[in-house]
Amino acid sequence: MGKKVSKNSKVGRGGGGKDYIKVVVSEKNPETGSYVYKEKMIHKDNVKEFLANQKK
């Protein structure tokens, strides 16, 4: 008999998910003073550019 392989390893996944990072940015509402958190998935090579654009 062959080697036992889990069904999850058989699924053809792209494998590119490890290159992405979830970035959470907080924004303060000037009227109420409450914070809103926005989440975005960004490629790990573009994180510095994304955060630099958020400060503007």
List CB contacts of 19: < 8 A, sequence separation 6 or more.
43, 44, 45
d(CA 49, CA 53): 6
Give the pLDDT mean for 15-31. Answer: 86
Q: Can you point out the beta strands (E) in 3-49?
A: 20-28, 35-43
d(CA 40, CA 55): 16
| Angle ∠(45,56,46) on CA atoms, nearest 5 | 5
Tell me if the pTM is above 0.75. no
- For residue 48, pLDDT beyond 70: yes
- The domain locations on the chain are 18-54
What are 8-21's pLDDT values in tens digits?
A: 665 555 666 788 99
According to the model, what pLDDT value does residue 49 have? 92
- For residue 22, pLDDT beyond 90: yes
